Amino acid sequence: MPNPEEQKIQQMFDDEDFQLLVISVKHSFFDEWVRERELDKREKIHAKLEAMEDLLTAMQAAADSIAIQKHRS
């Protein structure tokens, strides 16, 4: 059950479907990485996964900041 204190944008990160989406994309990158034999291409795939993690972290932080700003208003 959604927490009424959370903004919708924060709830997105707790949503089961969103979490499944993230896991699916991560697995897709991993499967691609496993199949790839060229080191430079494997490094690019790994960089994509790292960038995705960084993006998700930044999005979560931004969602929290937005929620705090809305709560203060």
pLDDT tens for 11-69 read 999 999 999 999 999 999 999 999 999 999 999 999 999 999 999 999 999 999 988 88
Please, where are the H alpha helices in the chain?
A: 8-14, 16-35, 39-72
Distance CA 32, CA 28 (A): 6
More confident residue, 69 or 3: 69
Whole-model pTM: value is 0.81
30 Cβ neighbours under 8 A, 6+ residues apart: 49
18 Cβ neighbours under 8 A, 6+ residues apart: 12
Cα–Cα distances in angstroms (integers) from residue 66 to residues 1, 5, 6, 48, 73, in the given order: 21, 13, 11, 26, 11
